[in-house]
Homo-oligomer: A and B are copies of this chain.
Amino acid sequence: MENKVKTRRTQEERSASMRQRLLDATIECLVTYGYAGTTTTKVADLAGVTRGAQVHHFPTKADLVTAAVRHLAMKRADFAFTQLDRLRAADDLIGVGLDLLWEAHQGPIFTATVELWVASRADEELRRQVSTVESLAASSFAEFDRELFPGFAGHPKVRHFVYTAMDTIRGILLSGFVITDADVIAQRWRRARAHLRQLAQQLFDELTAEQA
């Protein structure tokens, strides 16, 4: 039987999976306790390992958080990427596109991201890290507007519209940090979505006319 209970793993495997667990635990910690409540102790606890293991892979807290920032950015990019396929298959591009943008900002991933954004304001070192990573994440969203209005790929006006849409979504989500009633937030989004849709439709018409 080579399928023993204790599988023999290579050092690299152990290392990688441990780092993964620690980073996931860091995200979880950010979501559960906020940045202020995210300590190396709690992270190790959540990951189910001792602080020794944690310290071995990420010597300082800054190392841990920095790595978590990158880890999180990759998760966001991954998620955006999977959604692109759904977008390509949609018939109502604008409507589906807006909804996908909304969904991309749901869940723990974005929550953790906001915690880092806000924390980075008062922490120069953290801000540098977040800033550089954010540039990369932004480019993954750039794919989005390339798909949204095929034929007008990369058109500045389309890009600006996507920015406005994202900003609106994030503003609503920020309110959601205080307003726990999901219905209220959903309502807010439905209204905003109507507004954005109206803008998108007009933009589409405008671009089409321009092209003719």
Give the interface of A toward B (CB within 8 A).
32-37, 111, 114-115, 117-123, 127, 130-131, 134, 160-161, 163-164, 166-172, 174-175, 177-180, 188, 191-192, 195, 198-199, 202
Q: How near does chain B come to A48, taking the closest CB pair, in angstroms?
A: 21
State the main secondary structure of chain A at its contact with B. helix
Q: 10 shortest A-B CB distances, which residue pairs?
A: A167-B171, A34-B122, A170-B171, A171-B171, A36-B36, A121-B177, A160-B191, A168-B168, A164-B192, A118-B118
Name the CB-closest residue of B to A35. B36
Q: How far is the CA of A35 from the CA of B114 in the complex (A)?
A: 14
Q: How near does chain B come to A157, taking the closest CB pair, in angstroms?
A: 9
Contacts of A111 in B (CB 8 A): 121
Q: How far is the CA of A146 from the CA of B192 in the complex (A)?
A: 20
Q: How far is the CA of A198 from the CA of B178 in the complex (A)?
A: 30
Q: How near does chain B come to A63, taking the closest CB pair, in angstroms?
A: 18
Contacts of A35 in B (CB 8 A): 36
Decide: A119 and B164 in contact? CB cutoff 8 A. Answer: no
Question: A32 is contacted by which of B114, B122, B198 (Cβ under 8 Å)?
Answer: B122
Q: How far is the CA of A33 from the CA of B172 in the complex (A)?
A: 25
Decide: A192 and B167 in contact? CB cutoff 8 A. Answer: yes
Q: How near does chain B come to A4, taking the closest CB pair, in angstroms?
A: 41
Known: A168-B168, A171-B168, A177-B120. A202 touches B198 (CB 8 A): yes
Contacts of A168 in B (CB 8 A): 164, 167-168, 171
Q: How far is the CA of A111 from the CA of B161 in the complex (A)?
A: 25
Contacts of A134 in B (CB 8 A): 178-179
Contacts of A191 in B (CB 8 A): 160, 163-164
